[in-house]
Amino acid sequence: MTQSTCHVAIIMDGNGRWAADRGLPRIAGHRKGADAVRRTVEAAPGCGIDVLTLYAFSSDNWRRPPEEVNAIMRLFRIYLEQEVERCAANGVRLSVIGRRDRLPASVVAAIASAEGATRDCGVLHLRLAVDYSSRDEMVRAARACGVSGDWSREALSAGVGPDVDLLIRTSGERRLSDFLLWECAYAEMLFIERRWPEFGARDLEDAVAWFRSRERRFGAIPEPRLAAR
């Protein structure tokens, strides 16, 4: 039987703590985190993942020290510029969700270039959440529903994005932190202790295997199993 595909979302937590544990500056953790992104993206299709959403920078992260924010933005731009060719070659469509009006112009340009170059790719849809707030996205989608007059669940879902099947958060924290709140209504959630820079293909495989072992009832009562004869 063909295995169904799934949407996996990851809160990539622990870059700074990984660096601090080693006496390194926080940006060193973010650089190692970029390596973990590459490993995860490469492993995702083999795990049956067709949509992968990664929480790269929340709207609340602007509160961090300016030097760290600037370094993260430079790293994000470099990642987009360096990875776009690899993504296109491997059938990875790259898109960015969240606000763009507060991002540096060079980052906005890199996003537009990467999205355009990978627009027709169909193996994996990689969504990067940058300057992202789920509450803000729901407000924006609700306003759009008001204009159209369609206040159905389907209309709001179309405005915010696809439902998440499995949410993973690294580094031991157990909260959603304003990430995909609507989309995670029925998501299975897995919180692991491993810091994000240490996350690898085996971690992703184990997480998806755990997800596929779950009985997802969506509020219904499971059908009784027939006794073996």
The structural domains of the chain, with segments of one domain joined by +, span 6-133+164-213
Of the listed ranges 2-16, 41-55, 102-116, the least confidently predicted one is: 2-16
Largest CA distance in the chain: 68
| CA neighbor of 52 nearest in space, from 40, 68, 39 | 40
Looking at CATH, the fold of the domain delimited by 6-133+164-213 is given as Undecaprenyl pyrophosphate synthetase (3.40.1180)
Give the residue ranges of DSSP H helices in 24-152: 26-43, 66-89, 105-117, 134-148
Q: Which of 61, 90, 136, 163 is catalytic?
A: 61
Per this entry, what is the length of the chain? 229
Identify the helix (H) or strand (E) that includes residue 57.
strand 49-58
Q: Find the radius of gyration of the CA atoms of the chain.
A: 18
pLDDT at 148: 79
106, HSE (Cβ side, Cα atoms, 13 Å): 10
- Distance CA(204)–CA(6), nearest Å, equals 13
- Distance CA(23)–CA(1), nearest Å, equals 49
Give this prediction's pTM: 0.92
* Residue 227 in this model has a pLDDT that exceeds 70: no
- Catalytic residue flag (residue 61): yes
In the predicted model, what is the mean pLDDT of residues 1-22? 91
Q: Which of 13, 131, 165, 203 is catalytic?
A: 13
Q: Band of the pLDDT at 29, cuts 50, 70, 90?
A: very high
Q: What is the pLDDT of residues 31-54, one digit of tens each?
A: 999 999 999 999 999 999 999 999
Q: What is the pLDDT of residues 179-225, one digit of tens each?
A: 999 999 999 999 999 999 999 999 999 999 999 999 877 776 666 65
Identify the helix (H) or strand (E) that includes residue 156.
helix 153-160
Q: Which residues pair with 95 in a beta bridge?
A: 127
3-state secondary structure of 219: coil
Neighbours of 168 (CB within 10 A): 25
pLDDT at 224: 62
Environment class of residue 140 by beta-carbon count within 10 Å: exposed (0-12), middle (13-18) or buried (19+)? middle
